[in-house]
Structure 1
């Protein structure tokens, strides 16, 4: 049996001990040398160390996005018309078109069948509309009575269709065939990109004045709710009191409403929208009061209003039932208003050609070109026949005008002080 000798075991520890001592001495000398080195040398060594480290982490780094611009919103339009409005509605649609948006067009039941068929064929045969599938026509036309609640019903119908079929969108804008844009959609989308998506652009006031006796207290009936032929509203002899369950508001019938508010009007989860709708079924000119009263009586939305209809409209003073028709003589006032829309226009009025040429750069029978259009304009070609990135915006000077308007509307002396007052 082999036994380990004690002296041999002790000698085995001597060599590691000597080696450790020599190593410690070497480290001490190196440290002393570095400590006595000039600062520049230490800095140089430190730099090399960082440089060496960067070689290993570089492959793990990802570049930041080149742009932090907010994504453009989507707008959902209702463009409506009546008998004789087909060609004007088509022109307005072309002037408003952008593949990023959604569109509902409607000619009411008073329009002859051939007009509605002509509009349907126009939508179905447009290559750009078909490509993006974002223009729809209400083929089962609604009977709409001017000044009656059927106008509100038609607006809610279009809004419901857009909620169901229109995908994601941010604002609902209702226009008529006699409206026309004063800025491009690139301008509008660019300006709205920087806004909170819950804002509601709606001209409104609780100072209803003469409307209390001539609209709130009379009771009217709209035959369009139950008849197949259009006729004017009629009055019944009994009058009613001003509501106490909610406060009445009035204003313009043209507005840009947020998707959350449209959701609320359609679903009505606290029943206010339905209650107010039932009341306005017997109210003269209900389109000038329904949405205004709902938004200002709903605590969830009353602080989201911007007191503007985003239109240039020329009224008499005091206002009459209808505004003036706009002409070339109104061009400067329209531009100076900084508004994105104007009304009313006669069919094919020369001022529309001037707007197309000077503000929209729109060719006859074409959509308004934007950042998404990559084609050539040579020989009258349509630049939008070649499509690029539909979220790429190319704002014009109209965007600056619109920015000026919005900045004014959201200023300290106009925004909060003018909400639901």
Structure 2
């Protein structure tokens, strides 16, 4: 998959000095280019396809914000070529007028699919246009399977959310293969009693036998400067394990509070920038960047909950990727109380079971909640009309979610510091 960067070698196998330094200079320039591109993205106006309907000032002003109001969740929903329909279904499954949403189809998806997604968002539910809380990224990053372009896309989306809507409490990342197991009323209700300075991030410093691959190997993601998915360049030499900070790794799916996201984006200390330069050349930076920043920060290391709040199944604990969920996992999945599960196949009948039995989804519209005031009829969507969006009405699954969150927080409290 990678293309070797080895230079000319003499008969003894030694590097030719000039070639070696050209390789080092290339890595350094790639890192600098990555940082400069992120800075420009943060400072420039985001180019987004927004819903065609202008947001209603009356609807937007009806949403209460602040510590005394229910929490506001900022979602990043990501997908690749062919995932447009899945992202739209996922959006409607997690939609609530109180929340904020950015949808990102990576650059390998054609513009026609991106425009179709934007049009689908605009017509998905009247509330989307009225509250103006959904955006589709119009100039995407490459989103290669490995390398730093995926991390760049995540940081860019977080920066866009901070600039457009600086009033949310948690930043959640979901993929097209994810799906919720609770309604947004359930989730918002339970999170209302959770301290808003906590970060849910699966992490460990036990790299084990993969230290050479995860920490020491250097690559350059060609997706930084080339559109679409492409090969990466692998350096032939490896760098030593860093001693200026401790390396952490874990799940790439995170739930992070706004203060920590601001810390990573605005970088009022050098730590986020230093680690960003380092993780620019890491094979899987999304499995280590946020984890290493938060666990090396004196301000945030004690505000971590070592759990990504996802239900996943692995046939073998040594597996890095979970297996696709199927009907045989339904009971275990529901009983777990986790708010999200992954991965699902596209249009899997299991998703219809979740819609019908748990989320009570009506037709192909948004998941109904207390905010929906329309009458439920076979020809009309109850969420086409709405009342007070600051009221949430938890359902039966909220009981299991409450138990799950309490158990998770209890485990976190039993450790004096989870970043070990």
Specify the TM-score bucket, using the shorter chain as the normaliser.
Answer: 0.7 to 0.9
Identify the match of residue 89 of structure 1 among 63, 87, 90. Answer: 87
For structure 2, the residue ranges without an aligned partner over 5 or more in a row are: 1-66
| Cα distance between partner residues in 2 of 1:130 and 1:213 | 49
Match of 2:250 in 1: 251
TM norm structure 2: 0.82
Q: Deviations over 1:59-110 (max 9, x none)?
A: xxxxxxxxxx952100000001001101111100000000000000010110
Quote the residue 2:296 is aligned against.
297
Tell me what 1:382 maps to: 381
Distance in 1 (CA, whole Å) between partners of 2:379 and 2:331 is 28
Structure-to-structure mapping, 1:76-115, within 5 angstroms = 76-115=74-113
Q: How does 1:221-260 map to 2 (within 5 A)?
A: 221-260=220-259
Instruction: Give the match for residue 370 of structure 1.
Output: 369
Could you tell me how far 1:233 is from its partner in structure 2?
2.4
Give the structure 1 partner of residue 57 of structure 2.
none
Query: Would the aligned equivalents of 2:182 and 2:397 in 1 still touch at CA under 8 Å?
Result: yes
Q: TM-score, normalised by structure 1?
A: 0.81
Question: Equivalent residue of 1:106, what SS?
Answer: strand
> 1:414 deviation in Å?
5.3
Q: Distance in 2 between matches of 1:342 and 1:398?
A: 14
- Residue 322 of structure 1: how far off its partner (Å): 2.7
Separation (CA, whole Å) in 2 of partners of 1:412 and 1:335: 21
The equivalences for 1:387-398 within 5 A come to 387-398=386-397
Partner of 1:16: none
Q: Using the alignment, how far apart are the partners of 2:224 and 2:356 within structure 1? A: 42
Identify the residue that residue 62 of structure 2 maps to in structure 1: none
| CA deviation after TM superposition for structure 1 residue 207, in Å | 0.7
Structure 1 position 240, deviation (Å): 0.7
Distance 1:229 1:191 in 2: 39
1:141 matches 2:140: yes
Structure 2 distance, partners of 1:194, 1:223, is 44
Deviation at 1:368, TM superposition (A): 0.6
Aligned counterparts, 1:11-410, within 5 A: 70-126=68-124, 127-410=126-409
For the pair shown, which has the larger CA radius of gyration, 1 or 2? 1
CA distance in 2 between counterparts of 1:264 and 1:419 reads 20
Structure 2 equivalent of residue 38 of structure 1: none
| Distance in 2 separating the partners of 1:392 and 1:416 | 35
Give the drift of 1:378: 2.3
Cα deviations across residues 356-408 of structure 1 (Å, max 9, x unaligned)?
A: 00110012311011110111112253111110000110101121111111111
Determine helix, strand or coil for the equivalent of 1:251: coil
CA distance in 1, matches of 2:231, 2:98: 38
> How many matched pairs?
353
8 Å contact 2:149–2:221 — kept in the other structure? yes
Question: In structure 2, do the counterparts of structure 1 residues 190 and 210 end up closer, same or farther at CA, with 3 Å as the change threshold?
Answer: same
Contact 1:307 1:418 in 2 (8 A): no
Range 333-342 or range 375-384, more displaced? 375-384
CA distance in 2: counterparts of 1:202 and 1:144, whole angstroms: 21
Q: Deviations over 1:252-285 (max 9, x none)?
A: 0001000000000001111101110110111111
The C-alpha deviation readout for 1:21-67, integer Å capped at 9, x for no partner, is xxxxxxxxxxxxxxxxxxxxxxxxxxxxxxxxxxxxxxxxxxxxxxx
State the distance in 1 between where 2:319 and 2:205 align.
19
Shift, 1:190, TM fit: 0.4
Kept after mapping to 2: 8 A contact 1:303/1:416: no
1:396 is paired with a residue whose SS is coil
Name the SS for the 1:111 alignment partner: coil
Q: Find the counterpart in structure 1 of residue 49 from structure 2.
A: none
Please list every run of 5 or more consecutive structure 1 residues that lacks an aligned counterpart in the other structure: 1-68
Superposed CA offset, 1:113-168 (max 9, x none):
22111101112234221011000111112111112111111000000000000241
State the Cα distance separating 1:210 from its structure 2 match.
2.1
Shift of the 233–314 alpha-carbon distance from structure 1 to 2, 3 Å rule, reads: farther
- Any conservation in 2 of the 1:108–1:142 contact (CA below 8 Å)? yes
